[in-house]
Amino acid sequence: DGASAAQELDALIIGAGVAGLYQLHQLREQGLRVRAYDAASDVGGTWYWNRYPGARFDSEAYIYQYLFSEDLYKDWSWSQRFPDQPEIERWMHYITDRLDLRRDIRFSTTITSARFDEERNRWIVRTDRGETIDTQFLVTCCGMLSAPLSELFPGQDSFRGPLVHTSRWPHEDVDLDGKRVGVIGIGATGIQVIQTIADRVGHLTVFARTPQYVLPMKNPAFGPAEVAAYKERFTELRKTLPYTFTGFEYDFEHIWADLTPQERRDVLEENYENGSLKLWLAGFAEMFFDEQVSEEVSEFVREKMRARLKDPRLCDVLIPQDYGFGTHRVPLETNYLEVYHRPNVELVGVRDNPITRIAPEGIVLSDGTVHELDVIILATGFDAGTGALTRIDIRGRGGRSLAEDWGRDIRTTMGLMVHGYPNMLTTAVPLAPSAALCNMTTCLQQQTEWISDCIGHLRDQDKTVIEPTKDGEDAWVAHHDETAAANLISKTTSWYVGSNVPGKPRRVLSYTGGVGTYREKCSEAAAAGYEGFEIR
């Protein structure tokens, strides 16, 4: 394995998180020479990088697991319904060890470029360690939310204390005790950080721009009885999860129009009391399509938030008025709103008085106000869906650049391949169900299994190249857009439509036709001899 000679592989996987680990296992079982690369020093992907205080699941742990092996599922026991990052990371290590994956993963290595060699129909991949790998298939398992937006403000580098993005939280932790800490961002991440550090820091300043609907999490500990009970449901979960609308265990049960106002209210209350994402993902499907229903459900959630916040000024900054509940990612929280009643916590609304720069002593707002701080935490999110791949120099047929192509128009074929990029198979990219409206493990299992079947099919048929046709891709993009246009998500601004990144072409990133429907469409295309793809 010299630095100069190209190493040969059948498949190179980028990423060793939920998707990459399972993809590696599957392709190795098929007899391929396969290796995964990860920039991190260990496995875990999202659960490696996001080690900020308070990081935890918003999906129930027992539905986030892999379902391909009953033993693998049942030999792991969760300690609570929504475990925290250290426990999730331990689970990923358990998976890695049980499947003996480590020997085929290169850590602390970043893929810097990948170029398709049209003469030989192979990808030439380079790393930041000077390695060159010659591989037939390039499989990207880079995650939907892994390219942090961390260079945002002029003067950032001049800040005299630690300034950290939540997804780059250092392993040695950051000293927050008694300090003056500023958090920018109140998305799912910011909320987890804020509620967790409020009683530890000296003074906490939260910079809030767009308000967020939030739902309280109920997070009971799991003892032997609870663990046995969910494990009992393994067969049922394996049957149902892949086919629900969102890959969660629950699905829409009621039709809004069929119920009286009181009955609707009862359903909302019951789902709210569930202490999970059920109110969002299994309340009323009409909420996503019908402005009137959206407004009524939104008002229900606003009322719950108002009752907890009391103070009208807090309500004004924290309760959304101009977009509907569920059209942005809904965070679960624990005593988050109550944090703002603490004497050491200050809420700074920056909608009308934005942050203009960061000075050595702290954060400066448009009106000149300076908030003096010892530590700044950026909970400012990600270049979702595309960022992980556009930050690599990927060149397809004719030298075309993926960063340039997606810089003009974000297109994929079922989120599994991109026209112009033969033998590049993708997971967690746009135009497939994803973090926006899907339990990621459900979706990633299906996508990696589809990819393994596809590669197996080519090898069985003695074929070497697969690529979506232009027409095939056009058809998927049109179907995706038509589905998305009906959904109120398409009318909002957030990472769901790429509007958190200046200049990013607007498109609803996640497929909104449902996880079960998507799976059927992918399977149908494969069964029809990879309809919409050219195989040679």
Q: Which helix (H) or strand (E) holds 205?
A: strand 203-208
Would you say 210 and 350 are in contact if contact means Cβ atoms under 8 Å apart?
no
Judged by CB, which is closer to ligand NA7: 49, or 476?
Answer: 49
Contact pattern from residue 159 through residue 178 relative to ligand NA7, giving x for each residue in contact according to CB under 6 A and a dash for the rest: --------------------
- What residues from 477 to 496 belong to the interface with ligand NA7 (CB under 6 A)? 495
Q: How far is the CB of 153 from ligand NA7 (least distance, A)?
A: 7
Task: Return d(Cα 144, Cα 511) in angstroms, integer.
Answer: 13
Tokens representing residue 179 in the block: 């300090």
Tell me the backbone φ, ψ of residue 301, rounded to 5 degrees. -70, -40
Query: C-alpha angle 438/441/444, rounded to 5°?
Result: 90
Q: Which of 44, 187, 324, 385 binds ligand NA7 (CB under 6 A)?
A: 187
Using DSSP, state whether 17 is helix, strand or coil: coil
Choose one: 132-140, 186-194, 220-228, 304-312; the region binding ligand NA7 (CB under 6 A): 186-194
Residue 54 has what DSSP assignment?
Answer: T
Task: Return d(Cα 363, Cα 360) in angstroms, integer.
Answer: 9
Choose one: 90-98, 133-141, 202-210, 229-237; the region binding ligand NA7 (CB under 6 A): 202-210
Choose one: 101-109, 266-274, 377-385, 504-512; the region binding ligand NA7 (CB under 6 A): 377-385
Matching residue, tokens 């993902």: 281
Tokens representing residue 100 in the block: 């003996």
Which residue type is seen at 450? W
Residue 24 has what DSSP assignment?
Answer: H
Interaction between residue 207 and ligand NA7 (CB under 6 A): yes
Choose one: 78-86, 182-190, 297-305, 309-317; the region binding ligand NA7 (CB under 6 A): 182-190
Interaction between residue 430 and ligand NA7 (CB under 6 A): no
Judged by CB, which is closer to ligand NA7: 111, or 435?
Answer: 435
Q: Which of 15, 17, 190, 324 binds ligand NA7 (CB under 6 A)?
A: 190
- What residues from 493 to 532 belong to the interface with ligand NA7 (CB under 6 A)? 495, 500
Interaction between residue 186 and ligand NA7 (CB under 6 A): yes
Choose one: 76-84, 93-101, 156-164, 380-388; the region binding ligand NA7 (CB under 6 A): 380-388
Q: How far is the CB of 504 from ligand NA7 (least distance, A)?
A: 13
Q: How far is the CB of 195 from ligand NA7 (least distance, A)?
A: 13
How many residues of this chain interact with ligand NA7, rule: CB under 6 A?
22
Judged by CB, which is closer to ligand NA7: 65, or 380?
Answer: 380
Task: Return d(Cα 45, Cα 25) in angstroms, integer.
Answer: 16
Interaction between residue 350 and ligand NA7 (CB under 6 A): yes
Tokens representing residue 268 in the block: 């909302």
Burial tier of 502 (Cβ tally within 10 Å: 0-12, 13-18, 19+): exposed
Q: How far is the CB of 328 from ligand NA7 (least distance, A)?
A: 7
Q: How far is the CB of 455 from ligand NA7 (least distance, A)?
A: 29
Tokens representing residue 253 in the block: 């049960």
Judged by CB, which is closer to ligand NA7: 329, or 411?
Answer: 329
Task: Return d(Cα 175, Cα 159) in angstroms, integer.
Answer: 16
Matching residue, tokens 């908030």: 371
Q: Which of 161, 182, 324, 381 binds ligand NA7 (CB under 6 A)?
A: 381
R_g over Cα of the chain: 23
Judged by CB, which is closer to ligand NA7: 368, or 398?
Answer: 368
> What's the number of CA atoms in the CB half-sphere (13 Å) around residue 406?
28
Interaction between residue 379 and ligand NA7 (CB under 6 A): yes
Choose one: 306-314, 379-387, 463-471, 524-532; the region binding ligand NA7 (CB under 6 A): 379-387
Handedness of CA 380, 418, 113, 102 (dihedral sign): positive
Would you say 26 and 452 are in contact if contact means Cβ atoms under 8 Å apart?
yes
Tell me the backbone φ, ψ of residue 124, rounded to 5 degrees. -105, 115
Q: Which of 98, 200, 203, 209 binds ligand NA7 (CB under 6 A)?
A: 209
Judged by CB, which is closer to ligand NA7: 379, or 394?
Answer: 379
Tokens representing residue 313 in the block: 């000024």
Contact pattern from residue 283 through residue 322 relative to ligand NA7, giving x for each residue in contact according to CB under 6 A and a dash for the rest: ----------------------------------------
Candidates 477, 451, 431; CA nearest to 530 is: 451
Contact pattern from residue 212 through residue 251 relative to ligand NA7, giving x for each residue in contact according to CB under 6 A and a dash for the rest: ----------------------------------------
Would you say 7 and 134 are in contact if contact means Cβ atoms under 8 Å apart?
yes
Judged by CB, which is closer to ligand NA7: 124, or 152?
Answer: 152
> What's the number of CA atoms in the CB half-sphere (13 Å) around residue 405?
19
Q: Which of 80, 210, 401, 523 binds ligand NA7 (CB under 6 A)?
A: 210
Q: Which of 11, 21, 145, 376 binds ligand NA7 (CB under 6 A)?
A: 145
What are the Cα distances from residue 327, in Å, to 174, 305, 373, 435, 437?
33, 17, 33, 13, 10
Judged by CB, which is closer to ligand NA7: 136, or 334?
Answer: 334
Residues that bind ligand NA7 (CB under 6 A): 145, 152, 184-190, 207, 209-210, 329, 350, 355, 379-382, 435, 495, 500
